[in-house]
Amino acid sequence: MKHFFTLLILSLMALQVQANHDNAMLAFQNEDHKRIAVMLNGRLYKENSPQLTIQDIQAGAYEMNVFEYAYNTHIHGYKRKLIFSNWIYIAPMKRYEFIITITNKVLMTDVVALYNEHCDDEEWQEEEVWIHQPYTVFTEHIPVCVTMNTQDFDVLINNLKKSYFDDDRTAIFQSTLRFNNFETDQVAEVMRCFTFEDTKLNAAKAAFNKTCDKQRYFTLMDDFTFSSTAQELATFIQSN
């Protein structure tokens, strides 16, 4: 029995080590040389420096808030000021590099693939570029998903509610999808603006590929009146 538990613990530790090697990294640099802090889904990361590196970040959608510390004469100390707030999607085994400009704009400047030295040689021989080049720059596609901000989304919802017909609402939403990404909760709110079940379903299908947190898309099934419509969305999700 003791031998069994020892093997179980070692197996779990091995899985944890493997999972850590699949994680991502975020690096921030403040051009104004002020201290910064970053909050990901409510967890705060900070250093007494204008540079900040966050390691072992699991892949997924995150609400990211970036703060800058400025000296406040009223309290005779440093006060944290929010300069960026939005949703991003983090892909596994990537290093994301951000610059905070003097005008407090947060810009992503690069995404590189992280070299995993713990993979065996046979795995790496399948990707020759990774053998010779530990960091590969991906310039053609940057896998960061930023959703529509709250102010613009409120305008969208107001326009949908002012429309009398679902056809008009569909046209408005389709034009918005062309240049914006959404989170699942935002798609749910859009669906509630539609009158008919089929147009709600069409809106959900249209927004799927422009949604950052697809892993939560199943929650939209609760917004349908008929189980058959919910099942149709489930089938659509599985096929995509």
User: What pLDDT, in 10s, does the model give residues 81-111?
Assistant: 888 888 888 888 889 999 998 888 888 888 8
Q: Which long-range contacts (CB under 8 A, 24 or more apart) does 191-198 make?
A: 191/220, 191/223, 192/223, 193/157, 193/160, 193/161, 193/169, 194/160, 194/166, 194/169, 194/170, 195/166, 196/166, 197/224, 197/225, 197/226, 197/229, 198/229
- Is the pLDDT reported for residue 231 higher than 60? yes
- Is the pLDDT reported for residue 240 higher than 90? no
Would you give the distance in Å from CA 62 to the centre of its chain? 5
Q: Kindly state whether residue 204 falls inside one of the protein's structural domains.
A: yes
Residues 104 and 186 in one domain: no
Instruction: Calculate mean pLDDT across residues 16-45.
Output: 82
Residues 126 and 204 in one domain: no
Q: Kindly state whether residue 223 falls inside one of the protein's structural domains.
A: yes
> 8-22, 54-68, 194-208: which range is least confident on average?
8-22
> 101-105, 126-130, 156-160, 205-209: which range is least confident on average?
126-130
The domain of 127 spans 22-132
Q: Kindly state whether residue 141 falls inside one of the protein's structural domains.
A: no
- Quote the pLDDT of residue 105: 84
Distance CA 78, CA 34 (A): 10
Confidence of residue 187 (pLDDT cuts 50, 70, 90): very high
**Greater pLDDT, 59 or 155:** 155
What CATH number should be reported for the domain holding residue 77? 2.60.40
Domain count, the chain: 2
Q: Kindly state whether residue 190 falls inside one of the protein's structural domains.
A: yes
Residues 161 and 115 in one domain: no
Residues 127 and 211 in one domain: no
Q: Kindly state whether residue 12 falls inside one of the protein's structural domains.
A: no
- Quote the pLDDT of residue 74: 67
- Among 68, 100, 132, the domain-final residue is 132
**Greater pLDDT, 117 or 138:** 117
Q: What is the pLDDT of residues 133-160, one digit of tens each?
A: 333 333 333 345 678 888 899 999 999 9
